């Protein structure tokens, strides 16, 4: 299976850190390797949303963009109450929902994740709380970690009017709390559709936990989820495709 290209962390020290942590990561066989031990990533003590009314039904859908979709998907696959988390594209047109085109930064798409969840077990507001606490830095426009461009922006795509109200109220609540040194730039954008990404992107964190980009950027987010939200953490991820 082809390994998609991602920018690795610049700098000799970061490269040495990755090699020390994962050894010969890039030469692993297709079999799933053990996940390296990592420290938790940054945790923002985001409060529970003040506005978070219950949703009806047994299934609801949230669409979130928070930088590279490998890590966003990987985190939500470990959230209890999530039925599926699919990497893909949102914000642009169906005909431009292609990895190479989206990577040009000209399509309007953001790398996004469609989260299908049971609202009786986890609320939309809690999904947003996890997003702001451990998934994405909401203060960096068109950038997350080493990735640059509008396709890596932080954005929320509400799929219902109620979700839109919750997202707008929560951003206002977090802005008033001044938890970050810089203003929140995460946008609540109109939902125009979601388009699943190519097969090789799905379950990337789970299938390749020793891949350098994952070790440095994304496994710490999963560990931060475990530490900050123990009641919402599930050890075994829910995956798009069967593993093995």
pLDDT digit string (tens) for the chain, length 244 residues: 344 545 444 333 334 333 333 333 333 334 577 888 999 999 999 999 999 999 999 999 999 999 999 999 999 999 999 999 999 999 999 999 999 999 999 999 999 999 999 999 999 999 999 999 999 999 999 999 999 999 999 999 999 999 999 999 999 999 999 999 999 999 999 999 999 999 999 999 999 999 999 999 999 999 999 999 999 999 999 999 998 7
CA atoms within 13 A on the CB side of 37: 0
The per-residue DSSP string of 145-191 comes to TTEESGGG-EEEE-SSHHHHHHHHHHHHHHHHHT-SSS----EE---
Supply the residues annotated as catalytic.
68
Residue 12 CA to residue 225 CA, distance in Å, equals: 29
**Residues sharing a CB contact under 8 Å with residue 199, sequence separation 6 or more, in sequence order:** 241
Q: Is 167 exposed, middle or buried (0-12, 13-18, 19+ CB in 10 A)?
A: buried
Query: Can you give the pTM of this predicted structure?
Result: 0.88
């Amino acid at each position: 299976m082809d390994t998609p290209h991602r920018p690795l962390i610049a700098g000799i020290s970061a490269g040495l850190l990755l090699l020390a942590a994962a050894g010969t990561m890039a030469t692993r066989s297709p079999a799933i390797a053990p996940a390296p031990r990592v420290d938790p990533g940054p945790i923002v003590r985001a409060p529970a949303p003040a506005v978070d009314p219950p949703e009806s039904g047994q299934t609801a859908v949230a669409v979130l963009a928070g930088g590279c979709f490998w890590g966003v998907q990987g985190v939500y696959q470990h959230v209890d109450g999530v039925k599926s988390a699919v990497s893909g594209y949102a914000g642009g047109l169906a005909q431009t929902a292609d990895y190479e085109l989206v990577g040009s930064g000209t399509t309007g798409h953001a790398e996004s994740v469609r989260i299908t969840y049971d609202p009786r077990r986890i609320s939309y507001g809690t999904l947003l709380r996890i997003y702001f606490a451990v998934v994405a830095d909401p203060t960096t426009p068109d950038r997350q970690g080493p990735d640059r461009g509008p396709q890596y922006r932080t954005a929320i795509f509400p799929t219902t009017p109620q979700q839109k109200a919750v997202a707008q109220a929560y951003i206002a609540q977090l802005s008033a709390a001044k938890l970050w040194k810089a203003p929140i730039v995460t946008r609540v954008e109109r939902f125009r559709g979601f388009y699943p990404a190519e097969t090789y992107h799905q379950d990337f964190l789970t299938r390749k936990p020793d891949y350098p980009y994952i070790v440095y950027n994304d496994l710490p987010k999963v560990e931060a989820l475990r530490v900050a939200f123990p009641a919402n953490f599930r050890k075994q991820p829910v995956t798009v495709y069967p593993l093995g």
